[in-house]
Amino acid sequence: MAVDASLDARIREWEERLAASATSHPPLTLTPAWWQERLLHWATNDPDFRVKLLRFVDVLPTLRSARSVADHVRQYFRDSAPGIVQTASGLASQPVFRPVLSRAVRSGVFSMAHRFIAGETPEVAVPALRDLARDGVGSTVDLLGEETLSDAEADAYLGRYTELLETLSANAGAISPQGEQWSAVPAANISIKFSALCAHLEPAAPEHVSETARKRLRPLMRLAMRQGAFINFDVEQYRYKELVYRTFADVITEGEFTDLPHVGIVVQAYLRDAVRDLYWLADLAKRRGAPFSVRLVKGAYWDEERIVAAQNSWPVPVFERKEETDASFERCTDALLAAWPHLRPAFGSHNPRSVAQAMVKARNAGRQIPDIEFQMLYGMAEGLRNAVAAAGYRTRVYVPVGRVIPGMAYLVRRLLENTSNQAWFNAGVTVSSIAQTPSEERARRAEPAFRNAPPAAFFEPEERERVGASLARARRGFGTTYSLLIPDRRVSDRPPSEVRCPAEPATIMGHVAQATPEDVDMAVTAAQEAFLEWREVPAYERAEILDRAADLVERSRFDLAATMVFESAKSWHEADGDVCEAIDYLRYYAAEGERLSEPRPMGDVPGEHNENFHEGRGVTAVIAPWNFPLAIITGMTVGALAGGNTAILKPAAQSPIIAYRLVEILRDAGVPNDAIQYLPGPGGEIGRALVEHNGVDNIAFTGSSAVGLNIIEAAAKTRPGQRNVKRVIAEMGGKNAIIIDDDADLDQAISGVLVSAFGYAGQKCSACSRLIIVGSAYDEALERLKNAVASLVVGSPDDPAAFVPPVISADARKKIMGYIDSGRSYSTVLVQTDISHLNSSESEEASYYVAPTVFTDVPLNSPLAQEEIFGPVLSVFHAADFEEALEIALNSTFALTGGVFSRNPRHIELARATFRTGNLYINRKITGAIVGRQPFGGLAMSGLGEKAGGPDYVRQFMQARVVSENTMRRGFAPEEGA
C-alpha cells in the first residue's frame, strides 16, 4: 500500500499529536485503585498469573458464599502469585477472615468491571451517558448478558433491547452532545448482538437463521424508525460472520426498511477477508439504494479465532501479527472511504496511528469532519478519545450495560486486551513505524506427523453448495442394488433386504444382497489365503495403500456424507464428522502399522542379538454398528489391514450402503479383493457364523453390550480345525453422566449438555443420558436446560437447520418410547420438545421421530437411570455436593465417557483421579472424540480392547515375535549396534 510522502507526513504529525494527548492521560482512567493497576501490571508481566487472574474473574460471580470465594482464592492463588495476592490466599484459609476477604475481593473485581460497564440497567446507565455527552462524546449502548440458548432467552433479549431503545429515546436530549457534527445523526444509538436474538446459530443454515432472527429484528427496527434511533449490528466470531452479514442484508432490503439510513454493521480488520467484506457491503449499499454505516474495528476475538482454527485444522482467519492487522486497518480505511457515499465510515480504534491515518485520508478524499466518526470503548483510551473529540470529530463511546455477573465475559475480554503484551499502551505509545505492507512470512509450526482431517467449514457458501450437489446425486442413486463383494466377484443373486431412509421411511434407498452361511465359508477361505500374501507386503506399502484410500475418501467426502444423511439420518455436521474420523483412522493406523512392524532390538548384551517385531494374526471379522456407519467400520477394518490382517466386513443391517462404498474405495486404493470383503447379512446369522468360524482369528466388534458379551462367550469356544485362539475386541454401550458443579459456567455447561445428550438424537455410545447438578446451581441450570430443550430444532437431517434427527428405525423408536412411557410412571417429565408438526401428516408409526425428553425425580436404580436407552432422553439428578455427584455418576455398570463442568481446581483434580470412565471430559461436550487426540474406548461393561484412535489399537490385531540369535562364534562376536 503506497501512501504518498506528504500524506504520510501529515499522518505522522497527527499521530504524534494524538499520542501526546493519549499518554497525558493514563489509558485506564476511571481513578482505579492502586492495586487494580498493580494486578494488571503483574498480569501483563507474568503469563501464569494472567491466566489465573482471568480465570478467577470469570468464576467469581457464580460463587454464592464467602466460604466458596475464600476457597477459590486459595486454590487459584496459592502458588506463584504476587506477594499481596498470596497474603490474601493465606487469609482465605482462616474461617474468621473469610467474610471480609470475600467482600473485599468481590468489591475489587466488581469495581474493576464497573470501569468498563456503565450500569446494570439502561436507566442506571443514563447519567454516565449524560456525562459523556457533556464532554462532547456520544454513545452506542450494548447489552451484556448470558449466551442465548433458547427461544425464551432470545425473547428476553428482545425485551431488553426494546427497553433500552425506549430509555435512550426518552433521554435523547440529555445524551446528545452538541455540535454540527451531531446534527444529522440520532442521539439514541444501540449496538446489538445477533447471537442474542437467535438460539440456534447454525452456520450451515443461513436462510433459517436469517428468518428466525428477522422475526425479532423487525419489531426492534420499527421501534428505532419511529423513535429516530440508530441500530448497529455487531459482528462476533468468524464462523457466524456470514450469518450476520446475510441477515443484515436481508432485513435492510425488506420494503419497510430500504430507505433507513440509521443502521450500521461492523467490519473486523483482523480478518484476512476484511477488504473483501467491505467491497461486498459497498455493493449491498449500492443495490439497496440507501447508505448505511460501517464501523471498522480491529476485532475482539483474536485468541478465540486462533484456538478454534487450530482445533479444527482450519486456516487461521485472522492476521497473526499485530502489525498485519494494523496494516489491514489502513487498507480497509481506503476501501471504506472509497465507498462513500454508500458506506458511512466509523473508525473504532485506540491506536493513534490508526486514528490519524483515518483522519488524514478522509480529509484527502474530500470528506468533511461530520462525514466520519470515531469510536472507542467505554473506560479505555480516554486521553485519545478527548483529543479526537477536541479536534471536532464526532466521537462515540461503545458503552456496555448489564449485570456484572454475565458481564464478566466482557470484562475478561477487556482484561485480555489490557494485559496483552501486544496492547499499544503496554508497548508504550510510540510513534509507529508499522510496516506498510503486511508481512508475508508467518511463523510456521513444525508439521506434525499426523494431522486430523479438517471438518467442513459450512459457514463457507461453496462448502454448502457442494453438500447440496452431493445430496441431489445421492437421491438420484436411490433404488440401486448392492451386491456382496467377495473375491473377484460381485454377487447379487442373493435375496436382498431393503434399506429405508429413517427420515422418510416410505423411501427405499437401496437393495442389499444378503450373504448366506455358504458365502461366509467361501469368504473366510479366500481371506485365509490372501492373508499369507498380505502379511508379507512391506508395512510401508500397506501404509501407502491406506493413505491412498484416505485421499479417495477425502475426494468424495460430501458424497459419502450424503449417503449417511439419507441412510443413517445423520445431520450435515454429524455425517461430515463421520467422514473426517474415517480419514483420520486411515492415516493414523497406516502410520501405526508401519511403526509396529519395525523390528526393535531388545537388551544390550554382547554375543546375542534379540529382535522384537509384530505381524498380522490372520483373518479379522469386522462386526459394526450403524451409528457411526463409516467411521467405526473404517477404524476396525483399517486397524486390521494396517497390522497385516485380512478383513471381512459385516455391516449393521441399518447401514450397509456406506460400508459397501468403503470396501470399493479400499479396493480402488490397492487392497487386494480377497483381503477385503463385504458380507452383509443378519447379525444373528452371518455375524454369528463369522464369530464361530474356525478360520477367523480376530473379531473386531462394536455394538451393544448384550451382543458383545454374547460374542465374547461364543469366541471362547475352540472349534475343530481352529488354528488360533480368537482375539475379541469388543467396544460396547454406555450410560454416561455429566456433572455440572455449582461454580460451572452455565453458558458452556448447558450448551455442552445439549450437544452431548441430543446430538444425533442421543444415539451415540458416548452420549450423555444422565445429568447431575450440584447444589445451588440446580434451579438456574434446570430452568435454562428446560427452555433450551423446548427450543431444539427437530427435523429431517438433509435440512441443515435441524439439530435432532429422527431415530434410526421403527424398532428403535418403539424401544425408546417404551422407556419414556414407563418413565412417566415413576419420574417427572421436566420438558419434552414439541414435534407435533413432524408427525401430523403420517401415522405415528410411519415416522421415526422421538421428542427430546428430560426427566427429573428419577430413582437411582430405575431403568431410566441405569439402562442404555440410545435415544434423546436425559435424566437429571440433584446432588448436595460434588462428592455426592461423583457417587451418582459412578453408580453404573458402564464406564465409557463422563463429563464435568467446573471451575474449582480441587474438584477437577478429584474427578481426574476418581471419575473412572474410559474418556473423561472437563468443561466440554462428552461426544466427538478425535483420532490421535482423544483415543476412545470404555472400561467396565463398556468394553474390552485398547483405545480406538490411540497408539495401542493396531497392536491388538498383531502378534509379537521375538527372534534371538547367538552371534558369538569361536569366542568372538560383532559389537552390538556396530
Pick out residues in 630-649 that bind ligand NAD (CB under 6 A). Answer: 632
Binding mask 885-924 toward ligand NAD (x if CB under 6 A, else -) reads -----------x----------------------------
Strand 958-966 with 608-616, pairing:
antiparallel
User: For the residues of 527-542, what is the DSSP string, one character each?
Assistant: HHHHHHHHTTS-HHHH
Q: Out of 165, 509, 732, 792, which residue is the one contacting ligand NAD (CB under 6 A)?
A: 732
Q: Please tell me whether residue 733 binds ligand NAD under the rule CB under 6 A.
A: yes
Within 8 A by CB and 6+ apart from 41, the residues are none
User: Are 479 and 450 a contacting pair, CB within 8 Å?
Assistant: no
Judged by CB under 6 A, the residue of 635, 805, 938, 949 near ligand NAD is 938
Question: Of the candidates 408, 411, 409, 334, which has an alpha carbon nearest to the alpha carbon of residue 377?
Answer: 411
Cβ closer to ligand NAD: 325 or 766? 766
Helix-, strand-, coil-residue percentages of the chain, each rounded to 5: 50, 15, 35
All cell numbers assigned to 444 = 510456521
Among 61, 734, 935, 950, binds ligand NAD (CB under 6 A): 734
Question: Which 494-533 positions form the footprint of ligand NAD (CB under 6 A)?
Answer: none
Is residue 710 a contact point for ligand NAD (CB under 6 A)?
yes
Which residue number, 19 or 686, has a Cβ lying nearer to ligand NAD? 686
The answer to whether 657 contacts ligand NAD (rule: CB under 6 A) is no
Nearest to ligand NAD of 361, 688 (CB atom): 688
- Please report, to the nearest 10 degrees, the dihedral formed by the alpha carbons of residues 235, 238, 242, 245 taken in order: 20
Q: Is 653 in the site for ligand NAD (CB under 6 A)?
A: yes
User: Of the listed pieces 86-94, 199-207, 522-530, 704-712, which binds ligand NAD according to CB under 6 A?
Assistant: 704-712
Note if 198 is an active site residue: no
Q: Which stretch binds ligand NAD (CB under 6 A): 250-258, 457-465, 753-761, 936-944?
A: 936-944
Q: Which three cell numbers stand for residue 369?
A: 469532519
Q: How far is the CB of 731 from ligand NAD (least distance, A)?
A: 3
748 near ligand NAD (CB under 6 A):
no
Stretch that binds ligand NAD, among 359-367, 586-594, 681-689, 768-776 (CB under 6 A): 681-689
Write out the binding residues for ligand NAD, residues 827-886 only, by CB under 6 A: 868, 870
**Which of 140, 702, 756, 827 touches ligand NAD (CB under 6 A)?**
702
Applying CB under 6 A, the span of 9-17, 388-396, 684-692, 961-969 interacting with ligand NAD comes to 684-692
The H-or-E segment that residue 330 falls in is helix 322-338
- Chain residues 756-795 in contact with ligand NAD, contact rule CB under 6 A: 765
**Residue number, 628 or 921, with CB nearest to ligand NAD:** 628
Segment contacting ligand NAD (CB under 6 A): 421-429, 558-566, 871-879, 935-943? 935-943
Q: Backbone dihedral region of 431: left (phi > 0), alpha (psi from -120 to 50 degrees) or beta?
A: beta
CA dist., res. 233 & res. 242, Å (int)? 13
Q: What residues contact 935, with CB distance under 8 A and at least 6 apart? A: 929, 947, 948, 949, 950, 951, 952, 953
Are residues 346 and 367 in contact, defined by beta-carbon separation less than 8 angstroms? no
User: Among residues 68, 232, 395, 627, which is the contact residue for ligand NAD, using CB under 6 A?
Assistant: 627
Shortest approach of ligand NAD to residue 812 CB, angstroms? 8
625: contact with ligand NAD by CB under 6 A? yes
When asked if residue 452 is in the footprint of ligand NAD (CB under 6 A), the reply is no
Please list, in sequence order, all residues whose beta carbon lies within 8 angstroms of the beta carbon of residue 319, skipping any fewer than 6 positions away: 270, 271, 272, 325, 328, 438
For the question of residue 580 being annotated catalytic, the response is no
Member of 342, 650, 878, 955 binding ligand NAD (CB under 6 A): 650
652 in contact with ligand NAD (CB under 6 A): yes
| Locus of grid cell 472507542 | 376
DSSP string, 616-653: E-SEEEEE--SSSTTHHHHHHHHHHHHTT-EEEEE--T
Q: Does 945 bind ligand NAD (CB under 6 A)?
A: no
Q: Give which of 243, 130, 135 is closest to 188, Cα–Cα.
A: 130
Among residues 731, 726, 490, the alpha carbon closest in space to that of 621 is found at 726
Size of the site for ligand NAD (CB under 6 A): 33
Q: Residue 63: CB partners within 8 Å, gap ≥ 6?
A: 69, 72, 743
Instruction: State how far the Cα of 327 lies from the Cα of 434, in Å rounded to an integer.
Output: 7
Radius of gyration, CA atoms only, the chain: 32
731, 844, 946, 976: which is the annotated catalytic residue?
Answer: 731
Find the shortest distance in angstroms from Cβ 67 to ligand NAD: 41
Instruction: Give the footprint of ligand NAD on this chain (CB under 6 A).
Output: 623-628, 632, 650, 652-653, 683-684, 687-688, 691, 702-704, 707, 710-711, 731-734, 765, 868, 870, 896, 937-938, 942-943
Give the residue numbers marked as catalytic.
731, 765
